[in-house]
């Protein structure tokens, strides 16, 4: 079974026959004993430290269909090396473009993304309300904004509604989390521990959505809720909206309330708060466990992982774009 590998230390990655050899480097620049990763067991790589590699290595990764996702020192997503898009289809590209240029068609899809995200947000709040956190007043406020989604006619207006829903939702974090304060949402840079976790988790979710898109015929640069921009895969941002409440936020609530992450796992410097290396490892492990959890799928009548749900979402969107079946966003039913 293929696995995701996370490279936290700086080092050198190179090909050794049909194996990847990673040689970590310590703080003094001294090489440590190498680690070998059989290529047939690697699904993708997440790089958090400085990495030395050459074009021969990336040619090998491309032929082996192994993406590499890069994060900078401040935990910002920098970009991805994606293997050749061998699944891309001219028919799909035309369909995606047609639904983007027609505002009515674009808004149908964009509203579905926010509809799904809002439903999953409310499900999170109801879960904790049933456990004595008293989120009911915030649920009522959010539902009043959900009622406005269908009336939006432009993406800017829709994003305004989504922003209001998110702001109310983030107020609930102080009720749900035991020992940390959410405060205001701060991104670049995050100002406290909870904001650091949200930013880091959202980037992890984004890269998972990008990988799922790559496994379909969809073009990741053509999006509907977020405006397509140069040098970013904006469709991954769209799909991530639906899954952040159940993949990122639930992980944050769990690891903080169970005290798996504590103040010692964060570094504060230069007016910013970031996870340190041990903190990243704890979050990544919890995130991976969440991705691999399974649910009984209502339509497929079998257990599927959360990771596979991302790919199913891309297939559903593909069917909508090709006129096969109307798109329905994933909504938690439990």
pLDDT tens digits, one per residue of 211-222? 999 999 999 999
Average pLDDT, stretch 48-73? 92
Is 47 within a domain? Answer: yes
Domain assignment of residue 81, yes or no:
no
Per-residue model confidence as pLDDT tens digits over 36-54: 999 999 999 999 989 999 9
Q: Which structural domain, as residue segments, surrounds residue 10?
A: 3-66
Contacts of 14 (CB under 8 A, 6+ apart): 20, 21, 23, 53, 54, 57
Question: How many domains, the chain?
Answer: 2
In a domain? residue 209? yes
CATH number at residue 44: 3.100.10.20
DSSP state of 149: G
Dihedral sign (CA 251, 252, 256, 257): negative
149 and 284 housed in the same domain: yes
* Residue-level pLDDT at 133: 93
The CATH number for 256's domain is: 1.20.120.920
pLDDT at 314: 97
Together in a domain, 183 and 297: yes
Q: What pLDDT is attached to residue 334?
A: 81
- Give yes or no: residues 305 and 234 share one domain: yes
Residues 260 and 191 in one domain: yes
Helix axes 193-214, 306-321, angle to 10 degrees: 60
Q: Which residue has the higher pLDDT, 73 or 183?
A: 183
Domain termination site, one of 16, 43, 66: 66
Band (pLDDT 50/70/90 cuts) for residue 231 is low
Residue 145, pLDDT above cutoff 90: yes
Please tell me the predicted confidence (pLDDT) of residue 262.
95
Q: Are residues 114 and 57 in the same domain?
A: no
Residue 86 is predicted with a pLDDT of 62
Q: In terms of residues, how long is the chain?
A: 334
> Is 217 within the bounds of a domain?
yes
Residues of the chain above pLDDT 90, percent = 84
Question: Does the pLDDT of residue 229 top 80, yes or no?
Answer: no
Q: Please tell me the distance from the alpha carbon of residue 207 to that of residue 69, in angstroms, as a whole number.
A: 7
Q: 152: which residues sit within 8 A by CB, 6+ positions away?
A: 107, 111, 158, 161
Tell me: cis bond preceding 95? Omega within 30 of 0 counts. Answer: no
Of 37, 66, 95, the residue at which a domain comes to its end is 66
Q: Is the peptide bond before 189 cis (omega within 30 degrees of 0)?
A: yes
In a domain, 305, yes or no: yes
- Furthest-apart CA atoms within the chain: distance in Å: 61
């Amino acid at each position: 079974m293929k696995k995701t590998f996370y490279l936290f230390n700086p080092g050198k990655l190179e090909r050794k026959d049909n194996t990847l050899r990673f040689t970590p480097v310590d703080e003094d620049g001294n090489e440590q004993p190498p680690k070998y990763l059989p290529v047939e067991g690697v699904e993708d790589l997440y790089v958090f430290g400085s990495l030395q590699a050459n074009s021969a290595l990336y040619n090998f990764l491309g032929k082996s269909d192994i993406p590499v996702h890069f994060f900078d020192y401040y935990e910002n997503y920098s970009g991805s090396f994606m293997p050749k898009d061998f699944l891309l289809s001219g028919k799909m590209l035309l369909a995606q473009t047609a639904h983007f240029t027609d505002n009515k068609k674009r808004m149908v899809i964009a509203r579905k993304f926010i509809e799904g995200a809002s439903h999953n947000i409310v499900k999170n709040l109801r879960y904790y309300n049933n456990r004595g956190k008293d989120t009911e007043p915030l649920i009522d406020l959010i539902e009043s904004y959900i009622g406005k989604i269908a009336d939006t006619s432009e993406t800017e207006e829709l994003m305004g509604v989504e922003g209001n829903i998110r702001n109310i939702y983030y107020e609930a974090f102080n009720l749900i989390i035991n020992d940390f304060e959410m405060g205001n949402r701060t991104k670049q840079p995050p100002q406290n521990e909870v904001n650091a976790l949200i930013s880091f988790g959202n980037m992890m979710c984004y890269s998972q959505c990008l990988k799922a898109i790559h496994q379909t015929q969809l073009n990741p640069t053509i999006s509907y809720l977020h405006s397509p921009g140069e040098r970013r895969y904006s469709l991954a941002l769209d799909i991530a909206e639906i899954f952040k409440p159940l993949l990122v936020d639930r992980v944050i609530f769990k690891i903080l309330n169970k005290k798996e992450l504590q103040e010692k796992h964060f570094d504060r410097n230069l007016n910013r708060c970031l996870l340190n290396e041990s903190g990243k490892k704890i979050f990544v492990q919890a995130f991976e466990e969440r991705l691999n959890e399974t649910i009984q799928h209502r339509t497929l009548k079998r257990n599927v992982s959360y990771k596979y749900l991302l790919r199913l979402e891309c297939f559903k969107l593909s069917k909508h774009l090709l006129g096969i079946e109307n798109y329905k966003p994933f909504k938690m039913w439990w």
